[in-house]
Amino acid sequence: MFAPHLPQPTLALAIAIAILLAAAPAAANQSEQDQTPHGPTIGCPLCHQNGQFGPGNRTLFGAQVAGVAVGGNYDWSAIYALDADGDGATNGAELGDPEGLWRPGAPNPDATPTDPSDAGSFPAPPNPCGNGLLDDGEQCDGADLAGETCESQGFDEGTLRCGRACTFDTGACRAEGEGFCGDGVINGGEVCDGERLLGRSCLTQGFSGGLLVCAEDCTLDTTGCQRDGEANCGDGVRGGDEACDGVFLAGQDCVSLGAGTGALACGADCNFDISGCPEPEVCDDGADNDGDGGADCGDRDCFGFPGCPVCGDGVAEGIEPCDGESIATSCEDEGLGAGTIRCTPDCEADTSACADGGGGDGGGGCEAAGGPLTTVWRLLLVRR
């Protein structure tokens, strides 16, 4: 049977439609690849079995892609945490992006991808050496020596250690009459041992200063040495880009750094530590800026600020227990028996003349007599 004859324009249109329909699956597939880490590299097998398109030919991973795709587009962040093949490794882990940070157009992750649709294909677990646990293939790990000792390794005495590769380090083990690293004597191929450096120093090793020590493996440790202009944080010498080192603060203090007053210190990272520099009290922001328990007019630092008490004006107000002859409390009110409270020049209550005032503190106020004025009394003192 022959195909019916179609006019030339109609035939051209039919051919064009057929080409578009044939290309549609490939275009959709290319779109999915571009939206997946390593997608263009792996190609069609990532989402389709045997290169066949259609719902029944999708891989396990491809089915998850289809489940979130809209109009040929899908959001990688919606499936990176899923585990298409159930092997315990997420789709993201298998395609080199375990955190789901990759986005279309970005370079492929460095990790070699595995097949997210194949339960027998998954990333190799990280090297467990160094986790402190004795894993398969390890002789030891950290302090766990599996019960082994120098003696069990064929030596007479010494200390068995675990090396960086989780294998036994017998460098500190020795046979009878044999020296070993750590015995304070330079033996065999040892460069040093303990404090014995054979006259070597940072200077003899080409440095300008610092402290040369002997490492545990009886080799020279120059990490404490430095060259001119180099920084060696912790050596007590400020150098390089160090803001400070130890007690050397480069002439700075809390005030010069604009950090308030107090004691400036140098941190372990050789940067200034201003935790001992409390901020000055701001008297109108409602906050306890200097951390002394009082805010605004409730802080003695704000005495004299507009609207706050003025020590020396002869009027006890706000948090002032007294001001000159104006005394807003008494020995009896403070539970200190009979007597007379006097006022110090800084408007503190002097309870030394109270019967139970502490035997005379020379003006130490209530703090010397057993504590500050009670919170209830301070509230009663607020007059305006």
* Residue-level pLDDT at 172: 79
Is 180:187 a contact under the CB 8 Å cutoff?
yes
Q: Which two tokens stand for residue 287?
A: 């906050």
Q: What would the two tokens of residue 121 be?
A: 């294909």
Distance set, CA 60 to CA 56, 72, 83, 118 (Å) = 11, 17, 9, 8
The pLDDT assigned to 211 comes to: 84
**Is the whole model's pTM more than 0.75, yes or no?**
no
DSSP sequence for 113-163:
P--TT-TT--PPPPP-TTSSS--TT-S-BTTB-TT--TGGGT-SEE--EE-
Which amino acid, one-letter code, is at 238? Answer: R
Q: How far is the C-alpha of 367 from the C-alpha of 349, rounded, in Å?
A: 9
Rg (CA), the chain: 40
User: How many angstroms separate the CA atoms of 24 and 371, rounded?
Assistant: 85
> Averaged over 309-316, what is the pLDDT?
90
H/E element, 283: none
Sequence letter at residue 145: L
Query: In 10 A of CB 89, how many CB atoms?
Result: 20
Beta bridge partners of 70: 73
Q: Is the pLDDT of residue 168 over 90?
A: yes
Q: 185 φ, ψ to 5°?
A: -125, 130
**Residue-level pLDDT at 6:** 41
pLDDT tens for each residue of 236-274: 777 777 888 888 888 888 888 877 777 889 998 889 998
Cα separation of 116 and 108, whole Å? 16
**Token pair for residue 228?**
């001119």
Q: What is the mean pLDDT of the chain?
A: 79
Residue 381 bridge partners (DSSP)? none
Could you read off the pLDDT of 175-221 as tens digits, one per residue?
Answer: 776 777 888 888 777 899 999 998 899 888 888 878 899 998 899 99
Q: Which amino acid is at 74?
A: Y
- Asked whether the predicted pLDDT for residue 26 surpasses 60, the reply is no
State the pLDDT at residue 250: 83
Q: What percent of the chain has a predicted confidence (pLDDT) above 90?
A: 18
